[in-house]
């Protein structure tokens, strides 16, 4: 893990910085704004950006800057939870599938079946089934993302298994769980981490899409998606409702993608 | 031997990399005559391939590589001609074969197609004639049933056959100079012998000059007329093949020869290793580049770079204190 | 070759099975009683039970699944609670705009991304390469619905060149059809363009560094021919794969974009169905699109088999 080399990669570093700024602004939201995201002041509705409200206000007079920041908490929080859960569960599936042949057939068929349904569509269908709530969004997105990580873990694990040192461990009588987690997993984790950063980014996008369509995070809790959805109805007169949350979201995703590329270049320099 | 085909005059190649500029080869000087095989030996990374690819100007010159010196092909400096004129020379007057035949052949085109390609580029023949020539070449390199093989794909052939195909491609336009970059390293020993025999036979037939790049000294002993020993981008010794083996003068050459496991001799002797490791190109020492690993190095060796001098007729060494007989 | 084709086709069967199970479970695990939902809260218990009987909801779940699948093969794809006509008719009517939009978006994306990716690969490390990388980075970071909103804001509100809402079917004239689809297609296509550019660049880079390219160069092949005959022929394989996947990506992206531009496609259909709890429609849509996906993947694999001799001659 060559940190120095990573720092040479300008895009990756910029990406990392942007991501950190976004995450921090979400975490420290209460300190960055005195307005609450749910505080309605109807007389102030749909005001353009000003000194009092740097991002303007929305249809209910809520301060947009505050809503964007608190929305960041939700969107980034969802993205983060989805990535971690997917990484753990997906890797487990992939690792065990690579180890036990019968499990392999079963799990991989299921994954292929899931993958056949486009992610956004599957997420929408799952949300329709489960009902709109932040928790359900996380569940849906995890279900949608697991097949990808499982597949990567599995192929990485299969390659590692071919190595003779695994055969040696087997011959020494090591228990399967030990072989899987202590020996195979460390080799698998690099490509998995790379893919997880991309899943983080795509989870943010899909959550926003779901909330935009009304089947994601339910109002009045802010998420970039439902802020944009509100913005759509007043788009002709209130550009700030689209532009600011849009920029915020795009920057976060951009940061994550750039960072992800950097991590990928670090772990596998031949891919560039 | 015959007349001079190639003369390399103080050739240096510098690469621009993420870590700055690196001079991969420095001041290479040698000649190749018609009908002779010049061997270039050295460890991995010493610049053998860089030398051969520089002669053919295969590197990207816009962003990556820059050359100094001259490369005279039949008296004409091909290093100074416009790059686009090189394509008339490549495959035509100078041809190259590579180490790994599987990765050097395009997997999606038939073997015949790939032999026909240089023929159709450099010679004014139509497709049918080119195809016949391709079949003839396959026969020449000893591939049985060439009419069938010509329509097969590279992965359908064995390793030895693929290497023969590469030779067929290289010789299809009867070049003056053949550069063989480790042609046998990836092959079994028996196939190795066959391929080398083939190369020598065709060399005689076409009266070509051959540059044979290898790290295998036994192949050198069997086939080459003259030998260049390279270390870290420079020639350290140049001599006729017998001279190199009987009378090596550079400590590095000595070290290489000593490292060959002997069939005779005491069993208990440990295998000789040249102490130390080859330094990185980015950390090229000043003075003699081999000094750090040389058992006879003096202060002068660390301070000054020795020149390549002709100590005996036909025998050049880059050393202040060349050794005598082993 | 034939063996490869047959093998690939047979392979679909287990996948289809899994998809059907997933889709079936999707709907049948929905909390709430479908019969109750259809009849509304005011209906009596008796009426609800009666409907359940008619709908076969009291049978064991495996039986329900078998019934459903058999029905599917017989052509009975379910019934919409709100819309008239067979499911096939409903789907067909709504899928036309979506497919049109997706194809348009894909074409736009390809026209830009393949040349850009090629230039970036051939001039690796140059200013052009960096600019193209930055552009594709932006492309994949701006989701299609955001792009759609921004375009609407820009074009329709400020510049007023292209319509920001509405849809004209092909029958009203090709140009008009395209005009209304342009903004949505650009929004959809941008992300795909970013992806395809990156893919083209890396596929080409990998190929350009291959030994056989060096060998071809050493034969005296013209640089132009090197790129287009030798490199592209090999790089095209992963690129075709990406294009195949792109189409499905676009279809699902269309779901969101349609709601912005008011296009009566599959996207609108699915959203409305969710709101109206018209579950059988959702079920049918997901199933059909999943099958389309599988078929497209099959086609891509077959093309791969034709294009790459190593694949078809294996085993």
C205 contacts on A by Cβ (under 8 Å): 272
Q: Is B153 in the C-facing interface, judged by CB distances under 8 Å?
A: yes
Pull the structure tokens for residue A188.
């698998």
β B94-97/B76-77 pair status:
unpaired
Site of tokens 């609407």: C152
Q: State which residue of chain B sits closest to C218, comparing Cα positions.
A: B90
The distance of C297 to chain A (nearest Cα, Å) reads 9
B90, C214: Cβ pair inside 8 Å? no
C208 contacts on B by Cβ (under 8 Å): none
> Could you tell me the pLDDT band of residue C309, with boundaries at 50, 70 and 90?
confident
User: Does the global pTM surpass 0.80?
Assistant: no
| ipTM value for the complex | 0.82
Provide the pLDDT for residue C32: 66
Q: Is C230 in the B-facing interface, judged by CB distances under 8 Å?
A: yes
Average model confidence (pLDDT) across chain B: 87
> pLDDT digits over B37-79, tens only?
999 998 888 889 999 999 999 988 887 889 999 999 998 999 9
> pLDDT digits over C276-296, tens only?
777 778 888 888 888 888 888
> Could you tell me the pLDDT band of residue A272, with boundaries at 50, 70 and 90?
very low
- Range A3-27+64-267 classified under CATH 3.40.190.10: no
Phi and psi at B322, nearest 5°, equal -60, 145
Lowest mean pLDDT among A18-22, A102-106, A132-136, B217-221: A102-106
Is residue B166's pLDDT more than 90? yes
Pull the structure tokens for residue C282.
């959702």
Lowest mean pLDDT among B25-29, C53-57, C292-296: C53-57
C248, A118: Cβ pair inside 8 Å? yes
> Above pLDDT 70, what percent of chain B?
92
β B234-240/B315-317 pair status:
antiparallel
A205 contacts on C by Cβ (under 8 Å): 143
Is residue A87's pLDDT more than 90? yes
Q: What is the mean pLDDT of residues C34-46?
A: 71
How many Å apart are CA C182 and CA C179, to the nearest integer?
5
Q: Is C152 in the A-facing interface, judged by CB distances under 8 Å?
A: yes
Provide the pLDDT for residue C315: 40
Q: Please check whether residue A24 is in contact with residue A31, taking contact to mean a CB–CB distance below 8 angstroms.
A: no
C253, A120: Cβ pair inside 8 Å? yes
B90 contacts on C by Cβ (under 8 Å): 217-220
> pLDDT digits over A148-197, tens only?
899 888 888 888 777 767 777 777 777 777 777 777 788 888 889 888 99
Q: What is the mean pLDDT of residues A22-44?
A: 82
The distance of C286 to chain A (nearest Cα, Å) reads 7
Distance between start and end Cα atoms, chain B: 29
Q: What is the mean pLDDT of residues B242-269?
A: 78
Q: Quick check: bond before A257 cis, omega within 30?
A: no
Coil vs helix vs strand at B166:
helix
Mention every residue, 6+ apart, whose C-beta is less than 8 A from residue A55.
A49, A63, A64, A65, A68, A240, A244
Domain boundaries, chain C: 2-73, 93-275
Lowest mean pLDDT among A112-121, A157-166, B6-15, B265-274: B265-274
> pLDDT digits over A203-261, tens only?
999 999 999 988 888 878 888 998 998 888 888 788 888 898 999 999 999 999 998 88
CATH topology of domain C93-275: MetI-like fold (1.10.3720)
Q: What is the mean pLDDT of residues B206-230?
A: 91
Element (H, E) at C30: none
B108, C308: Cβ pair inside 8 Å? yes
How many Å apart are CA C135 and CA C190, to the nearest integer?
10
Give burial (CB, 10 Å; 0-12/13-18/19+) of B262: exposed
Site of tokens 């083996």: B245
DSSP type of residue A269: G
Is residue B129's pLDDT more than 60? yes
> pLDDT digits over A40-68, tens only?
888 778 888 887 788 888 888 888 888 88
């Amino acid at each position: 893990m060559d940190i120095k080399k990573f720092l040479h990669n300008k895009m990756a570093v910029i990406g990392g910085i942007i991501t950190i700024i976004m995450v921090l602004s979400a975490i420290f939201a209460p300190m960055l704004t005195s307005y609450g995201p749910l505080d309605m002041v109807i007389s102030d509705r749909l005001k353009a950006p000003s000194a009092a409200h740097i991002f303007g206000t929305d249809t209910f007079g809520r301060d947009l800057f505050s809503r964007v920041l608190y929305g960041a908490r939700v969107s980034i929080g969802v993205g983060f939870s989805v990535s971690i859960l997917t990484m753990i569960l997906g890797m487990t599936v992939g690792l065990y599938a690579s180890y036990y042949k019968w499990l392999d057939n079963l799990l991989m068929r299921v994954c292929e079946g899931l993958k056949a349904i486009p992610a956004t569509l599957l997420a929408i269908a799952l949300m329709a089934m489960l009902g709109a709530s932040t928790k359900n969004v996380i569940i849906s997105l995890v279900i949608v993302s697991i097949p990808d990580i499982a597949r990567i873990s599995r192929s990485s694990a299969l390659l590692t298994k071919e190595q003779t040192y695994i055969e040696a461990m087997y011959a020494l009588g090591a228990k399967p769980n030990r072989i899987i987690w202590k020996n195979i997993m460390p080799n698998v984790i690099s490509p998995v981490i790379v893919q997880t950063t991309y899943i983080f980014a795509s989870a943010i996008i899909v959550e926003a899409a779901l909330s935009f369509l009304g089947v994601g995070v339910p109002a009045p809790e802010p998420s970039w998606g439902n802020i944009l959805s509100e913005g759509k109805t007043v788009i002709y007169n209130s550009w700030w409702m689209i532009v600011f949350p849009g920029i915020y979201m795009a920057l976060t995703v951009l940061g994550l993608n750039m960072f992800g590329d950097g991590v990928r270049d670090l772990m596998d320099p031949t891919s560039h | 031997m015959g007349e001079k085909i190639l003369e390399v005059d103080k050739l240096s190649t510098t690469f621009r990399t993420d870590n700055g500029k690196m001079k991969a080869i420095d001041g290479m000087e040698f000649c190749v005559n018609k009908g002779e095989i010049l061997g270039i030996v050295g460890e991995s990374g010493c610049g053998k391939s860089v030398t051969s690819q520089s002669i053919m100007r295969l590197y990207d010159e816009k962003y990556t590589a820059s050359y100094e010196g001259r490369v005279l092909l039949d008296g004409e400096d091909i290093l100074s001609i416009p790059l686009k004129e090189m394509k008339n020379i490549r495959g035509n007057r100078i041809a190259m074969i590579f180490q790994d035949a599987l990765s050097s052949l395009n997997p999606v085109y038939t073997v015949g197609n790939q032999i026909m390609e240089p023929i159709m580029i450099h010679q004014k023949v139509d497709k049918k004639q080119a195809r016949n020539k391709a079949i003839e070449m396959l026969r020449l390199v000893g591939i049985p049933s060439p009419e069938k093989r010509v329509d097969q794909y590279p992965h359908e052939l064995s390793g030895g056959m693929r290497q023969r195909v590469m030779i067929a491609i290289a010789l299809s336009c009867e070049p003056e100079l053949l550069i063989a970059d480790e042609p046998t390293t990836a092959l079994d020993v028996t196939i190795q012998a066959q391929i080398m025999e083939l190369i020598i036979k065709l060399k005689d037939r076409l009266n070509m000059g051959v540059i044979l790049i290898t790290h295998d000294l036994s192949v050198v002993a069997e086939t080459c007329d003259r030998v260049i020993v390279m270390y870290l981008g420079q020639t350290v010794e140049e001599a006729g093949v017998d001279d190199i083996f009987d009378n090596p003068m550079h400590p590095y050459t000595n070290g290489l020869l000593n490292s060959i496991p002997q069939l005779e001799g005491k069993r208990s002797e440990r295998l000789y290793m040249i102490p130390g490791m080859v330094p990185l190109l980015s950390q090229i020492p000043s003075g003699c580049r081999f000094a750090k690993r040389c058992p006879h190095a003096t202060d002068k060796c660390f301070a000054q770079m020795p020149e390549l001098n002709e100590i005996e007729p036909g025998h050049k060494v880059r050393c202040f204190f060349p050794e005598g007989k082993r | 070759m034939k063996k490869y084709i047959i093998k690939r086709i047979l392979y679909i069967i287990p996948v289809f099975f899994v998809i059907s199970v997933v889709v079936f479970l999707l709907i049948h695990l929905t909390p709430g009683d479908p019969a109750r939902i259809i009849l509304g809260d005011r209906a009596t218990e008796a009426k609800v039970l009666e409907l359940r009987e008619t709908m076969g909801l009291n049978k064991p779940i495996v039986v329900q699944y078998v019934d459903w699948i058999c029905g599917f093969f017989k052509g009975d794809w379910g019934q919409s609670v709100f819309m008239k006509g067979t499911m096939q008719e409903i789907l067909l009517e709504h899928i036309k705009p979506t497919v049109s939009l997706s194809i348009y978006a894909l074409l736009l994306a390809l026209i830009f991304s393949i040349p850009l990716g090629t230039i970036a690969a051939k001039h690796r490390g140059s200013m052009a390469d960096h600019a193209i990388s930055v552009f594709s980075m932006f492309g994949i970071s701006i989701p299609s619905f955001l792009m759609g909103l921004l375009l609407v804001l820009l074009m329709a509100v400020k510049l007023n060149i292209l319509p920001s809402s509405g849809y004209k079917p092909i029958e009203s004239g090709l140009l008009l059809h395209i005009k209304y689809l342009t903004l949505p297609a650009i929004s959809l296509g941008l992300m795909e363009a970013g992806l395809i550019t990156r893919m083209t660049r890396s596929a080409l880079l990998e190929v350009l560094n291959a030994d056989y390219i060096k060998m071809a160069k050493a034969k005296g092949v013209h640089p132009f021919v090197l790129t287009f005959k030798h490199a592209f022929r090999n790089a095209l394989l992963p690129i075709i794969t990406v294009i195949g996947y792109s189409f499905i990506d676009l279809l699902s992206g269309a779901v969101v974009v349609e709601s912005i531009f008011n296009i009566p496609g599959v996207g609108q259909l699915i959203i409305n169905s969710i709101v109206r709890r018209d579950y059988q429609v959702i079920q049918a849509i997901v199933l059909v699109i999943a099958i389309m996906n599988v078929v497209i993947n099959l086609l891509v694999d077959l093309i791969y088999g034709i294009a790459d001799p190593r694949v078809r001659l294996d085993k």
